[in-house]
Structure 1
Amino acid sequence: MSNERRGILTGGTWCVDYNRSLSHWPAEDGLAELFEEERHGGGSSCNLALDIRQLDPSIPIETIGLVGNDGDGRYLREAAAKAGIDISQIAVTDAAATHFCNAYVSRTSHRRTHIFHAGTAALLTPDHFDFSATRMRYLHLGLPGVHRILDAPWKDEPNGWVAVLKQARASGLMTNLELASVEKGLMAALVAPCLPHLDFLIVNDLEIGAIAGVDTLRGDATDRDACEQAARAVLEKGAMKLVAVHCPSFALVVTRDGERTVLPSVAIPETEIMGANGAGDAFAAGMLYGIHESWSTNDSLSLAHACAAVSLRSVSTTGAIMSWRECLDLAQRWGFRPFL
């Protein structure tokens, strides 16, 4: 049945990002200068949907989420509809304000700091997800640790994420799970029972380490061998066809059939970088687009790197993404980092 399907369904986190560019991230009682402030859609469901739409407008996109009956909720729905995303399953409630996030990006380090108000995210349940009519091929779901009800046990399931994933696969969808930067122990506890119900897992170096219980950092640098060890351990615990791991310097993919691919990241000029907010979502969008289009693992990973690099040119999560051809062309022009 899945071979007859086309398109991507995103589900879970829709929030409004208030993106702020700072001189640096100050210590407590410190002072920093604010340079820019923008309002954009954010969250895993919003970001991947908008990224895929910009990579290739021909790909059908549907989404499922919950927003408030307020200005931020209307902003998200209007932005999604304007982009051509099917929003018929974005529910609206009067019970809470729309989930929002203050996203601070340091111009010194390019690192991001997120401070969020859960709002409607705390009210999203498995009952909001209806897969009966969709003809999409993939479900991109997130974010564990941010949605109170989905994070908790649901009926006979260990958490609501498992309930949603099982329902999606029973309806003919293949599944991917996006993660948030929550505490390592919480992340591992929420994700572990989801692994048998995933077809793909696309995560960063810290996330794969948390799930596997492997230290993937050596000082300030990512340990490539440790990332591969963690990816293989997680692959064995789940049903995934592949596990992809990314970090600023490289990315790797290990597959169920034994394939291993490692590629260095794009050498984007320092002068082009505005912030890393949304880079992980952009990487996932490039990887999932390549998978959707039946590209090779190497080509999918190359596009994922290109999308992540291109996204760094904006303080918003999706503002810099272009067509997939333009992303690859720009990455080729910048070149790639050397393997160390």
Structure 2
Amino acid sequence: MSGGIAVAGTIAVDEIKVVERYPDKTELTTISDIKRSLGGAVANCSLALSKIDATLPIETLCILGEDEKGQYIYNHLKQHKNIDVSKINFKNTTPFTDVIQDKNDKTRTFYHFKGNASLFNEHTIDFTKLNSKILHVAYLLLLDGLDQTDDQYGTKMALLLKKAQDHGVKTSIDIVSENQERYQKIVPPSLKYTNYCVINEYEAGKTAGIPLRNSKGDLLAANIKDVLKSLKSFGVKDWVIIHAPEGSFGFDGKDYYSLPSVKIHKDQIKGTVGAGDAYVAGVLYGAYLKFSIYEAMKLGTITAATSLCEEDSNSGILNFDCLMQEYQRYPKHEEIKI
């Protein structure tokens, strides 16, 4: 297999616990269901891409622990014939996330144990052995080894992405949503060596220093162009895409795009874990097929939408032809003018 998409960085086991309602501090709530699935960008994006195209060569680049959780992830990934697990390293303890999902509103809260994630650094990937056309690395702000400062490039993540581009590989990044003020320090250096920046509205606003939601949680549509332009100005080579529940918004350096989300009845939504990664996977597959940014956003939109129909991150995702049919079938929300 050669010439596909590589996914690198964060991988974990998701221990999903569905609760009757999310409690306040010191309160008790009842767990109604417990499930386990793969989590993190490497697992979520790789499996989503495999569902979209079972013939697409996918390389997984990550570090698993020498433990039961690491073996669980490895065994699951290697079941997919087009996912290459040969470059996975095994060290220390596998990261895991307790995903607490509210049964009523489907929102989820994450408690993450980083484990060996800090061991993933700028030396982990051997680019002389990489066969892919696109490398997706995630998540910034969660990979301690790559978030470190680099004297020449700003961060070790920026150095890693520069190495990839020097080897003729296009790069993609995603960010974790966290309630800290590190975005403007850690993210911009990487954008200079990024081809595809595909992030949500919270991460985009934090990185640009321009809010995209007000205190009531309403989307500030008037600020979207400024955020897109700001992110592109950091050096993103090809596409900047922001996805939100209301829709997604793109900028290719020339034109701005607004695409509404599809309408899904709340009874169809079984979980939202990994929906952002599903969106990214759809966009990356569009980039791989040399789609326009707008067509890639459509694929990202419907990939994310179908992922909501199951509790884990990828079981609901369909193959490419079916996804395109579903996109045409689903009604759409009103387009947001930007």
TM-score (norm 2): 0.94
Shift, 1:225, TM fit: 2.5
Identity of aligned residues (%): 25
Show structure 2 runs of 5+ residues with no match.
none
More displaced 10-residue stretch of structure 1: 150-159 or 187-196: 150-159
Deviation of the 1:77 alpha carbon? 1.1
Matched, 1:318 2:317: no
Query: Pairwise mapping of residues 1-340 of structure 1 onto structure 2 (< 5 A)?
Result: 6-84=3-81, 85-93=83-91, 96-154=92-150, 156-218=152-214, 219-256=216-253, 258-339=254-335
Structure 1 residues 151, 297: closer, same or farther in 2, change over 3 A? Answer: closer
Q: Secondary structure at the match of 1:298?
A: helix
> CA–CA distance in 2 between the matches of 1:325 and 1:36?
33
| Alignment partners' CA distance in 2, 1:79 and 1:155 | 39
SS in structure 2 at match of 1:167: helix
Aligned residues of 2:258 and 2:335 also touching (Cα < 8 A):
no
SS at match of 1:280: helix
Deviation at 1:255, TM superposition (A): 0.6
Distance in 2, matches of 1:330 and 1:37, equals 30
Report the more deviating stretch, 58-67 or 224-233: 224-233
What is the total number of aligned residue pairs between the two structures? 333
Deviation digits for residues 48-68 of structure 1 (CA, Å, limit 9, x no counterpart): 111000001111100111111
Larger mean CA deviation between 260-269 and 324-333 belongs to 324-333
Check conservation: 2:175, 2:199, Cα contact below 8 A. yes
Aligned to 1:62, the other structure's residue is in SS state strand
SS at match of 2:192: helix
The AA in structure 2 aligned to 1:52 is: L
CA–CA distance in structure 2, aligned partners of residues 184 and 240 of structure 1: 27
Deviation at 1:261, TM superposition (A): 1.6
Query: 1:107, CA displacement in angstroms?
Result: 2.2
CA 1:167–1:251: 2 relative to 1, 3 Å: same
Q: How far apart in 1 are the matches of 2:96 and 2:223?
A: 35
- Does structure 2 conserve the Cα–Cα contact (< 8 Å) formed by 1:17 and 1:100? yes
Indicate the RMSD between aligned Cα atoms, in angstroms: 1.6
Which shows bigger deviation, 207-216 or 23-32? 23-32
Query: Structure 1 residues 178-187 or 58-67, which shifts more?
Result: 178-187
Q: Following the alignment from structure 1 to structure 2, what is the Cα–Cα distance between the partners of residues 45 and 213?
A: 28
